[in-house]
Structure 1
Amino acid sequence: MDVRTADSIADRLRIVMDRIRQTALAVGRDPNGIRLVGATKKVSAERVREAVAAGLRVAGENRLQEAIPKIQALRDEPLRWHFIGHLQRRKVRDVVARFEVIHSVDTLELASEIDRRAQAAAIRQDVLLEVNVAGESTKAGFSPHQLEEQFAQFSGLTHLRIRGLMTIPPPVDDPEQARIHFRTLRELAGRLSALAVPEVAMTELSMGMSSDYEVAVEEGATLVRVGTAIFGRRDA
């Protein structure tokens, strides 16, 4: 069955999960080390519930105002929530502690604000650092060079748990064209890990979406953010 012709959310989800598993095995990776994040932007709570019934365990939201009612509506489901969209500093207070992981920390100033809010909430917030691997002017994120220069400063943020990196590569016609960007992120994570900054880990790589998640898995993704391939095409 092809994900493009599958009739139901459950069928499409099973196809995506099977492709992740088969791709991981083909390159000698443990499929259990890869988590599928269902990107639920503009997806109703009822449709997310269908995916949960079929095995989805992590949902990723881009917009806080859309996420809050969904989190409330699905509070009894075995579902964890990740924040995967651009985060404004003025909304940090409402994101911290509500989401298991924030994928999109794109400046040291934003990281500091999350640290401050996490301290006030008496928690440690798991985050990923967003990297603009292709240097696109329209996208947020650290450049690889900038992140390497600033990396040691994250050790002073005692209420963050930096778990790894995230990237959104440029749109491509062929998934193979995204490989270089995924490889760049993986190699950057290796260099940063070698710096051995206290309290900072490089164990997670959030990369790959509906059009290229199999290539991302081949290149080391531990979190893949898939929306359209599960829920179908939605309005932007």
Structure 2
Amino acid sequence: MNNYIECNLNNIKKNIYELSIKYKRNFSDITIVAVSKYQEYEKINTAYSYGQIDFGENYIQEWQEKVNFFQDNLPNLNWHIIGNLQKNKAKYLTDKVYCLQSLDSVELAKEIEKKGKFEKKLKVLIQLQVDKNDQNKSGISIEQAQILRDYICKSSKISFAGFMGIGPLNAETSKRKDLYYSFIQNAKTLWNETDSNNLQPILSLGMSSDYEEALECGSNMLRIGTAIFGARNKL
């Protein structure tokens, strides 16, 4: 298993490096989030031992179990919540969350403001709609994102760090690239309308099957699971 995950990580990093040159991107600006949903603890520990520090979880209960297991052994691990978060689960968010990537409503933001337990502001990404015709993916419209962005910027508990998107599963490459370019441009427009102090937004777009298109279009954070760990097994 160790050799398998090490080889996968090395191959992905090598590929991203080559794609960065191809698309005139800065390799050091690209972050890989290893999607560890349903993955065995041993696999997460192995990936961490080979330098992977950012991990993405979809479900609060599973994330809590992993935090409790790893918190003493892997202190520098960054947990990203990347799955849809129900409002009644906001009370479980703590400083152990490095970034909530799936903030998609003002109502959820208000619930986090009310019930989140943080000593410092929680870094959040707005989950922006990629394809309005894709009924299988959540995400907020560009119009509603403006309202959510303005709420976050006034919040005392959450900090606006960028945007996340989930692309359509079965789109042709040309259509997906058009959608991704549009997503990136909309995200940058929304970001530039804020007092960002010249910081660059996180643009979390692209997974195991489509990260080349995402990189070409401007993503700087890739959520990669299967290509690192292999197929998932429910815990």
TM-score by length of 2: 0.88
Change (3 A) 1:29 1:200: closer
- Let me know the Cα RMSD of the aligned residues: 2.4
Which of these residues, 184, 187, 210, is aligned with residue 186 of structure 1? 184
Tell me the CA shift for residue 150 of structure 1. 4.8
**Cα deviations by residue, 1:175-197 (Å, 9 ceiling, x for unpaired):** 45421222122101221123225
Relative to structure 2, which stretch is displaced further, 121-130 or 146-155? 146-155
1:127 equivalenced with 2:124 (yes/no): yes
1:15 equivalenced with 2:11 (yes/no): yes
- Ranges of 4+ aligned residues in structure 1 off by more than 6 Å: 198-201
- Unpaired runs of 5+ residues, structure 1, are 1-6
CA distance in 2, matches of 1:141, 1:9: 31
Relative to structure 2, which stretch is displaced further, 67-76 or 39-48? 67-76
Counterpart secondary structure, 2:61: helix
Relative to structure 2, which stretch is displaced further, 168-177 or 66-75? 168-177
Quote the residue 1:159 is aligned against: 157
Does structure 2 retain, via aligned residues, the 8 Å contact 1:154–1:200? Answer: no
Quote the residue 1:209 is aligned against: 207
Relative to structure 2, which stretch is displaced further, 133-142 or 86-95? 133-142
Does structure 1 retain, via aligned residues, the 8 Å contact 2:53–2:78? Answer: yes
Quote the residue 1:4 is aligned against: none
1:37 equivalenced with 2:37 (yes/no): no
Would you say how many aligned residue pairs link Structure 1 and Structure 2?
Answer: 230
Does structure 1 retain, via aligned residues, the 8 Å contact 2:102–2:125? Answer: yes
2:204 alignment partner AA: S
Which of these residues, 167, 170, 188, is aligned with residue 169 of structure 1? 167
2:57 alignment partner AA: E
Which of these residues, 72, 78, 81, is aligned with residue 79 of structure 2? 81
- Unpaired runs of 5+ residues, structure 2, are none
Tell me the CA shift for residue 95 of structure 1. 2.0
Change (3 A) 1:200 1:169: farther
Change (3 A) 1:109 1:73: same
